Structure 1
Amino acid sequence: MADESFRIDGLDFLRGCAVMGILLANIVLFALPLPALYNPFGIGTSGPVDLAAWLFNFLFVDGKMRAIFAMLFGAGILLVMESAEMDGRDGFAAHRRRMLWLLPIGLAHYLLLWSGDILLLLALCGLVATLFVRFETLSLIKLALALILGQWLIDLSAVLPGFWLRAHAGSADATAHLMAHWRLYADQLGMGDSVAATSERAHYLGTYGGILQFRLARFPGDALDQLVYAMPEMLAFVALGMAMLKGGFLAGQWRAEQYRATWQRGLLVGLVPMAGLALWVLLSRDPLAVQAASFGWSLPLRLPFAVALAALAMEIAGRVPDAAIVRAVRSVGRLALSNYLLTSLVMTSLFYGYGAGLFGSLNRAALMLVALAMWAVMLAWSPLWRRSFGQGPVERLWRSLARSAR
């Protein structure tokens, strides 16, 4: 989402990979009830192929694509400010205007299309990031690590008490209140015949007006959850992206050998413990373990994994910049915001009741095929649009609004 006047080809390729990859992370939320996130053994799963789809997302996608998106957003902040200053404009003011216009774009996306929006959170992080855009590279890295540690402690404090609750609710002296609390908690995790999952299916298979009212009612709670359980992590990766641009990583200034060594080490550091967490989940078949592994223990591992995946993409972009697939993905990245919103439009039209009404009817393996089909759409229309019109439609609108506000 960098300014069109200041492009780095490798960065655009990585951005395209992130936009496409984030669909793999979001496809379950588009198509299945929320408890499917915590129970890959029941909701959306009917066999080993579906479990393999869950495993792939758990290891390589979940949390990592959002981290890369945030890193790119942080790098984009610096590029936009530098571009504005080179044009004789106030870089801080140009950036703030862009973030202030991204807020209503994100709000419209949340209310009108999909409640899984991250644009609002990115805009808030972008405004906060003005406090440390002048930090040196090492200071930015230290800040990112501190924020990730803080987010990790917050998330663990939210997921680990579930084990205590289950143990005490099953004891002989458990009170009726405690047992009722556990039944509600277990229902939200998709254990048994989940009332929450059934209710969500009925809701999203309803009318557009009903879904809109539901989003309006949920917005305050969702916003608070984002601030507590997502913003520190997002801000950490924004800061890390700034550091990686200043250090030459995201500017495409490293040698191919440096990128290769980085992704090889990062995958080794991240994959071994992630595989251990996956083994715990698969052997226990416990939704509490899924919740703890996905939203607690794995959080620090997103850093080496995200950096590794970014390094791999940057190496590919540098080695074969003129390959057809690289050029196509680069076009997807240059239309990142348009592709992100287009994905929400297509997916909600496909799964919600006012469209094809497929919500809750496809398993995880089939959803991966849907995501691949959407990738094909992105790869087809993005180069055509770029050749005909240059900037993406939403990017053009965003830039025009920000420039007209001066």
Structure 2
Amino acid sequence: MSSLTTATPTAPQERMHLLDIIRGFALLGILLMNIEYFQRPLVAMAYGLDTSQTGLDYATAWSVYTFVQGKFYTMFSLLFGMGFVLFLDRAREKVSSPRWLYFRRIFVLGLFGFVHIVYIWGGDILLTYAIAGLFLLLFVNTPARRLWKWGVAFIALTILLYWFGAWGIQMAMNSPAAPEMMADFDEQRAVMAEMIANAHQVYATGSFAEVVQFRLSEIALMYGGGGIIFFMPTILGTILIGASLARLNIFTKPIEHRQTIRKLLIFGLLFGLPSALFVGLFGIDIELMIPDYRGAQVFTLQAVANLGLCLAYMAILTVLYLSGKKWIQYLAPAGRMALTNYLTHSIVFTTLFYGYGIGLYGEYGRFGITLMALALYGFQLWLSTWWLQRFQYGPMEWVWRSATYLKLQPMRKAA
């Protein structure tokens, strides 16, 4: 380990260009998924696809539900795991206490996430990454081929817990306690229906203070019960798989791993595509809050589809990158400013839709708001390129780096 005590951030020329491209593409998928929940309560996610839609709205919603939802937060999680390894490995070369530097980086990310989830939008993923990131310190010295096994084990644990829950409920339904349990389920459904109705009202017409107050209750319902038990291990497991991929240099040195990337593509399509189609055809009306055998089956196939298609998408981008397709280079600047662009999504669309802003909540169908999402993403591709021609970092990336290294970083590029 280096004896240096002054840490410096990664210079732009040292960045992994392919990872920026993948991160830029992941931003698109995250936005296509999140746009629904800028106009729909987050708790409604437990009920699957909104089947009340018709025509282009339904076709758009179904396509995103089948091929996008879950696949891109998985991609972001893999990228976070890769970033974890790359950051720590570089920190070891520069400072005597790399774990402390990493902890500062995670702490600042957690602050971003806290502000985002409370004051901007409840669908934040940053705070979850910060919490999961603390557990990653337990795996600093774990070899790559054990990291991915740990990752798969955490994901499998989540699936197993859901199956145990379904089994337990099924056993209870065959016991004398069944009527009482059914009454409890009906009460839970009534509470959820009331919360969803209140959410529509508050987000459409409420003041900023009312929205924040309601958002806290929605977050508590989503994560305070069993939600965090099922969500956190999946995120941590996916991050560990990403850390393994980084240690194996699969996407950081892709030229040396063409064969592995082709295998990931085949694996992803072979397992991920059929699973995604099954969920899209037979799992659109699932009720995940109350486990049963059908829900457990869909939950399992969703996990397979999320990881499988995510790896396939990443492999396809890598093949295009290695074959010299120039158009995918436009994704890289957006990926370098991923934090800024991600937070901008929430600021723009909550301002556009919520009652304390312009108040367009519920005014447009899924197809219309998806077009809005694509328009914003296209603008961000241009703006990110323009910005990085003049500055070294995106605005939020600059804040994050400066706070991590406890020193204001040079923002403008040298003339």
Specify the alignment match of 1:247 in structure 2.
248
Specify the alignment match of 1:14 in structure 2.
22
Whether contact under 8 Å (1:144, 1:240) holds in the other structure is yes
Whether contact under 8 Å (1:160, 1:292) holds in the other structure is no
Specify the alignment match of 1:259 in structure 2.
261
The answer as to 2:141 corresponding to 1:137 is no
Q: Which whole-Å CA distance do the structure 1 matches of 2:35 and 2:299 have between them?
A: 17
1:204-243 correspondence runs (5 A)? 204-205=203-204, 206-224=206-224, 227-243=228-244
1:7-406 correspondence runs (5 A)? 7-34=15-42, 36-37=44-45, 38=47, 40-43=49-52, 45-47=53-55, 49-156=56-163, 175=179, 180-187=183-190, 194-205=193-204, 206-224=206-224, 227-253=228-254, 254-256=256-258, 258-281=260-283, 295-320=299-324, 323=326, 325-404=327-406
Deviation readout 1:315-358 (Å, 9 max, x if unpaired): 2223226x2x3232100000011111111101111111111222
Q: Which whole-Å CA distance do the structure 2 matches of 1:292 and 1:52 have between them?
A: 25
Aligned length in residues? 389
State the secondary structure of the residue aligned to 2:113.
Answer: helix
Whether contact under 8 Å (1:274, 1:301) holds in the other structure is yes
Q: Which whole-Å CA distance do the structure 2 matches of 1:145 and 1:100 have between them?
A: 26
Length-normalised TM-score, structure 1:
0.86
Whether contact under 8 Å (1:10, 1:318) holds in the other structure is no
Whether contact under 8 Å (1:338, 1:394) holds in the other structure is yes
State the secondary structure of the residue aligned to 1:243.
Answer: helix
How far is 1:199 from its partner? 1.4
AA of the residue aligned to 1:269: F
Relative distance call for 1:261 and 1:153 in structure 2 (3 A) is closer
Q: Which whole-Å CA distance do the structure 2 matches of 1:286 and 1:82 have between them?
A: 43
Length-normalised TM-score, structure 2:
0.84
- Which structure 1 segments of 5+ residues have no match? none
Whether contact under 8 Å (2:352, 2:360) holds in the other structure is yes
How far is 1:218 from its partner? 4.6
Q: What is the root-mean-square deviation in Å for CA atoms of aligned residues?
A: 3.0
Specify the alignment match of 2:6 in structure 1.
none
State the secondary structure of the residue aligned to 2:389.
Answer: helix
Relative distance call for 1:320 and 1:77 in structure 2 (3 A) is same
Deviation readout 1:289-337 (Å, 9 max, x if unpaired): 996676454123322222111111222223226x2x3232100000011
Identity %: 29
- Which structure 2 segments of 5+ residues have no match? 1-8, 409-415
